[in-house]
Structure 1
Amino acid sequence: MPSISTLVTDPDAFFRDRSESPSWVGPALVVTLIAILGVVAGVIRIRTMGQIFERIMADAGGGADATGFFQAFQLAGIVIGFVVTYVVWLLYGAYFYGASALFDGTGKFTTTLKLVGWGFVPSLVGSLLNLLIVVYRFRIRGFDVPSNLSGQAAAQYMQQVNSGPLVTLAAVLGIVFTLWSGLLWTFAVKHARQLSTRNAAITVVLPVLIGLGVGGFAVFNAL
């Protein structure tokens, strides 16, 4: 069986040789690492954004209860995001399995799900790079908080926090990784469902286009 490196150098061979008896271990590990990296990045953001929100509420005459609610809300979002990572894996697998049936695809759903999981490797790389960017922006470089964060000043400052060259870079890389995932999913579905490369590409194109649209919107907002 080819090494993991063939996922990059020869994805067709990688999925072909794993389609007979694919394992849960590799794809599950990929998805789990994505979820963990998302949690770590989210916690770092919460700690910084919580301090900023506390300043905003203090300048606006709000109390500590609002800050606590904000942090609890953000923490709940992180927990939900961890679970959603696995749900997304399941939904992608289900969609590819169902869509490939239009081309008379054959093969087990579990095989499709396992091979599709490998298609999230680009997301894993993206999550790692995103974590590095978050660490640099929020922990190493930090932000200079203005003395007054009330009204329009608060809105302008939050726009500054959520934009900039590194945010734009992360969004652009997200588009690149979406295209890479589309390539991997094409070969994953091809061998999981016994399709031609063309029909497999048609099967995966809709989620990829949606991902590209989301990525383009993220780039626009980061500018």
Structure 2
Amino acid sequence: MIAVVQFGGSNCDRDAVRALDHVGFDARRVWHEDGLPAETDGIVLPGGFSYGDYLRAGAMAARSSVMAEIRQQVEDGTPVLGVCNGAQIGCEARLTPGAFTTNRSARFQCEHVHLRVENANTPWTHAYEAGEVISLPIAHGEGRFEIAEETLSELNAENRVLFRYCNADGAVTDAANPNGSTDNIAGVIGERDTTAVLMPHPERATFPELAENGTDGRAILEGFAVADP
């Protein structure tokens, strides 16, 4: 069972459950105060505006008591995926390095972006080829990924960048960077590749009937079946 952890202000939890159900998983919303069910095989930290993004986006949710359980699950190799606000929570909880802050435009942005697959040897990118370009929607006001130069060098050396914003032809340019993220980074993995955070929304690019969004996000969600604790 994949637990989609719901905080006050989460608003993509139902989307995540529906998308995961669509690709064949048993997914359930779990209120953070109730803790993780014993049968938890995977965890999603969904998008939204947990606690109204007070202090910093994701900062308050990252201090919820359920995060101690999630950290233990991370150590045990349980697959964990943070999306948008869930990515902010994941970084704030130090499940992955870096932080997300206000977009370069200083406004909320909702659009489709192109992403280049940087590391295809993870559960989340197993269906892609390195260098392949996919398209996913974004919807965020604080999606700009920031990281210290030294830590960025370590991420690159360890091949822990999942996706970079790019043009349709795969070129990584400043013009293709929607929010000003350092090094065009859109998603990273933790110390284990079973933990990942990304700003774009794979759950919104899963259903064939939503032709405008495509289905490039489906394989990311299918990573829950590939992850090997």
Superposition TM-score, scaled by structure 2 size? 0.24
Larger Rg: 1
* Structure with the largest fraction of strand: 2
| Structure possessing the higher relative contact order (Cα contacts under 8 Å, 6 or more residues apart) | 1
TM normalised by structure 1 equals: 0.24
